[in-house]
């Protein structure tokens, strides 16, 4: 390229105005970045569809989904701004919809409250999700002690030992630590021994709304035995490196319940 050509190019660049193409502004929150040659957008007066107000059904579902434990009806009414009869009707309607849609969960009335529960049909897979070797399973002694307390509450330690024929100190401590029983005062007997009764956690453990729904003693003892046998089998499966094959029915789980996070 010779000098004449270079000169012409430089002369043209100096005399012609550069052309700037319009570029859309970048909207950030309530303002815009100004761009040369482009009119700013008034976002404050722009037509924006308002967010829909959550319905009572959605609020109830959100609360139960987030709750780690049963929520009482009065607490749900307080938060959702509803009345008990309306809230109960909504829960029944939601459960009908879940069933019609083939969903894997239902809203259960348990432990004097409400909680989302997976169906027993899925217990085998849910159990594997939480499967970890632990030394905190309830022993047969603890399960037997729990059955005695459930049907004779409030009951003292000497009364439990008289029925079992062995010392009950360790089982009672385990049940207290697992919050399946609580101390309900002292008996008016020599020594004023502690009285024990089942807790709200006990109701959740068995998927019961209240103690009036407690199964017969034979059914409860059968359920506890099944849980103990299942726990032993699962421990052996873990040691052998195999997955458990027991279904919800074989493991003795009551309808509408799933194992605890520790496999209990």
DSSP string, 103-135: -SEEEEEETTEEEEEE-GGGHHHHHHHT----S
Considering the domain architecture, whether residues 138 and 223 belong to the same structural domain is answered as yes
CATH number at residue 63: 1.10.10.10
88 in a domain, yes or no? yes
148 in a domain, yes or no? yes
Calpha distance 105→119 (Å, rounded): 5
Coil, helix or strand for 144?
Answer: helix
107 in a domain, yes or no? yes
Q: Who has greater pLDDT, 129 or 65? A: 65
Strands 194-198 and 27-28, sheet pairing: unpaired
Q: Is the dihedral of CA 39, 42, 46, 52 positive or negative?
A: positive
* Residues in Cβ contact with 215 at an 8 Å cutoff, skipping those fewer than 6 apart: 223, 254
For residue 164, CA distances in Å to 136, 172, 222 come to 22, 13, 17
**155-170 confidence digits (pLDDT tens):** 999 999 999 899 999 9
Average pLDDT, the chain: 76
Task: Kindly indicate the confidence band of residue 4, based on its pLDDT and cuts at 50, 70 and 90.
Answer: low
Q: Who has greater pLDDT, 114 or 255? A: 114
Q: Tell me, what's the pLDDT at 252? A: 38
Do the Cβ atoms of 224 and 257 come closer than 8 Å? no
42 in a domain, yes or no? no
Peptide bond into 154 cis (omega under 30): yes
CB atoms near residue 220 (< 10 Å): 18
**180-198 confidence digits (pLDDT tens):** 999 999 988 888 899 999 9
Q: Tell me, what's the pLDDT at 217? A: 74
Considering the domain architecture, whether residues 170 and 80 belong to the same structural domain is answered as no
**Within its chain, how far is the Cα of 89 from the centroid?**
22
Do the Cβ atoms of 224 and 206 come closer than 8 Å? no
Considering the domain architecture, whether residues 90 and 179 belong to the same structural domain is answered as no
User: How many structural domains is the chain composed of?
Assistant: 2
Q: Tell me, what's the pLDDT at 254? A: 40
Calpha distance 228→222 (Å, rounded): 10
Of the residues 79, 102, 118, the one at which a domain ends: 118
Of the residues 118, 143, 166, the one at which a domain ends: 118
Determine the structural domain holding residue 167 and report its residue range: 124-240
Among 110-119, 206-215, 222-231, name the one with the lowest average pLDDT. Answer: 222-231
Q: What is the pTM of this model?
A: 0.51
Calpha distance 26→35 (Å, rounded): 9
Calpha distance 239→5 (Å, rounded): 87
Calpha distance 248→152 (Å, rounded): 28
Residue 113: strand pairing partners: 110
Considering the domain architecture, whether residues 109 and 134 belong to the same structural domain is answered as no
Coil, helix or strand for 196?
Answer: strand
Give percent of the chain above pLDDT 70.
65
Phi, psi of 24 (to 5 degrees): -65, 140
Strands 181-186 and 155-156, sheet pairing: unpaired
Across residues 36-50, what is the average pLDDT? 59
> Does the structure show a pLDDT above 60 at 262?
no
């Amino acid at each position: 390229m010779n000098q004449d050509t270079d000169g012409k190019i430089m002369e043209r660049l100096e005399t012609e105005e550069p052309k700037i193409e319009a570029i859309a502004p970048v909207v950030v929150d309530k303002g815009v970045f100004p761009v040369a040659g482009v009119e700013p957008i008034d976002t404050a007066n722009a037509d924006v569809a308002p967010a829909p107000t959550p319905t009572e059904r959605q609020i109830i579902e959100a609360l139960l989904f987030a709750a780690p434990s049963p929520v009482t009806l009065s607490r749900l009414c307080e938060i959702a701004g509803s009345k008990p009869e309306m809230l109960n009707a909504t829960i029944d309607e939601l459960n009908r919809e879940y069933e019609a849609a083939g969903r894997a969960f239902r809203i259960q009335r348990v432990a004097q409250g409400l909680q989302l529960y997976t169906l027993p049909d899925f217990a085998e897979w849910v159990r594997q999700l939480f499967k970890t070797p632990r030394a905190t399973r309830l022993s047969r002694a603890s399960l037997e002690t729990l059955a005695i307390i459930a049907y004779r509450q409030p009951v003292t330690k000497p009364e439990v030992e008289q029925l079992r024929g062995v010392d009950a100190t360790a089982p009672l401590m385990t049940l207290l630590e697992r919050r399946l029983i609580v101390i309900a005062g002292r008996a008016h007997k020599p020594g004023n021994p502690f009285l024990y009764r089942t807790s709200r956690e006990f109701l959740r453990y068995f998927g019961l709304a209240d103690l009036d729904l407690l199964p017969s003693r034979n059914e409860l003892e059968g359920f506890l035995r099944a849980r103990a046998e299942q726990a032993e089998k699962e421990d052996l499966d873990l040691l052998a490196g195999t997955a458990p094959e027991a279904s919800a029915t074989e493991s003795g789980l009551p309808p509408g319940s799933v194992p605890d996070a520790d496999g209990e």
